[in-house]
Amino acid sequence: MLICLPPSEGKTPAPDDGAPVDLAALTAPELTAQREAVLDALATASARDDATAVLKVGAGLAEEVARNTRLRTAPTAPATDVYTGVLYAAAGLAELDGEAAARAAADVRTFSGLWGVVAPSDRIPAYRLSMGVTLPGVGGLATAWRPHLTAALAERAAGDVVVDCRSSAYVSAWKPATTGDHAAEWVTVRVVREADGERTVVSHNAKHTRGVLTGHLLRRRAAPPTSATGLLAAARELDGEVIGTQVGTGLSYRMVAAELHEATGARRPHTLELVIA
C-alpha cells in the first residue's frame, strides 16, 4: 500500500539544536532541483510587503510567513514531529516503533507545496506554504509539481493500492495511473455520518477518522493490503470501534460500516466510505 497524506496546516517548529535541511537527503532525491527552485521562490515571496496575500494566509500568520525567509538555516525535525494536525495526532505517527515504524517509512508519504513529497522520518523545518498557492517565479504549485511527482512516484505506486487521504489541492498535484504499465488501484477515503437512516459528508471528525484508519493500517499484524478489496477488509476491522469524540458535544462516535464504491471512469478513484455514528 501507499498511504498519501496532506500536510497539517500548522507546523510545529523544530528544537533550536536541529540541523538545517539537507535537500539531497530527503526521500525522492530526484526532486532536489525542484525543491531548490520552490524554496528560493518562497523565500523571495515571503520577504515581500504583500507576502501574506501572495501565500493566501491571514495577517495573523505574518510571523510564520517571515520564517519562510530563513528555511535554509532553520532547525529541522522529523516530518512526523513537524506535522502535528488532527490527522497526524489520530494516526500517532510520531509514536510508532518497530515493524509499524518501518511500514510507515515504506508506505506513508506526505504531499507538500514546498517539498513535493516527504517520508515520516525526513527532517524538515516548519514552513507555511499551501499547494493551492501560485508562487511567483514557479507558478501554480500543483501544476509545477505534477510532472516531477509523476516521475518520482509512478514505479512506487505501480501494482499497489494507493490509499488517498489528501484534500483536493494535493490530489491535483499527483494522481496515480489507473491503466497502463504503472497502474495502481487508487482509493480515496471519504467519511460520512449516519443519523436517522441518512448519510451526510462531514468535515468535523473526517480528518481524525482518516488518521485512525492510517494508524490502524500501519499497526495491524497482517500484511499491508495491496488491493482495494484488501483495503476494505482491513478497514472493516474497525467496525464497531470507538473512533473519537465529537467536537462540541463530548459524545463518542464509532465506525459502523466501511463500503467500497467502484471508480466511475478512467483516471477516477474508487472510494472507501467510512461511516461513523
Amino acid letter for position 220: R
DSSP characters over 82-146? HB-SHHHHHHTGGG--HHHHHHHHHHEEEEETTTEEE-TT-EE------TT-EETTTEEHHHHHH
CA 190/CA 214 separation, integer angstroms: 13
Walk along the chain (277 residues) and give the pLDDT tens digit of each residue: 999 999 999 899 999 999 999 999 999 999 999 999 999 999 999 999 999 999 999 999 999 999 999 999 999 999 999 999 999 999 999 999 999 999 999 999 999 999 999 999 999 999 999 999 999 999 999 999 999 999 999 999 999 999 999 999 999 999 999 999 999 999 999 999 998 889 999 887 999 999 999 999 999 999 999 999 999 999 999 999 999 887 778 889 999 999 999 998 888 999 999 999 9
CA 3/CA 163 separation, integer angstroms: 5
Which of 84, 69, 66, 108 has its CA nearest to residue 13? 84
Q: Which H or E run contains 191? A: strand 185-195
pLDDT for 86? 94
Amino acid letter for position 177: A
CA 112/CA 38 separation, integer angstroms: 11
pLDDT for 204? 74
pLDDT for 250? 84
CA 64/CA 139 separation, integer angstroms: 21
Beta-carbon contacts of residue 53 (< 8 Å; ≥ 6 apart):
none
pLDDT for 245? 87
- β-partners of residue 135 are 139
pLDDT for 202? 86
Sign of CA dihedral 118, 262, 87, 37: positive
Beta-carbon contacts of residue 51 (< 8 Å; ≥ 6 apart):
45, 62, 65, 66, 68
CA 23/CA 113 separation, integer angstroms: 15
Output the nine-digit C-alpha cell for 228.
482495494
pLDDT for 248? 77
pLDDT for 197? 87
Check if the beta carbon of residue 266 is closer than 8 Å to that of residue 180: no
Burial of 220 (0-12, 13-18, 19+ CB in 10 A): middle
Check if the beta carbon of residue 194 is closer than 8 Å to that of residue 32: no
The whole-model pTM stands at 0.96
Burial of 223 (0-12, 13-18, 19+ CB in 10 A): exposed
pLDDT for 63? 95
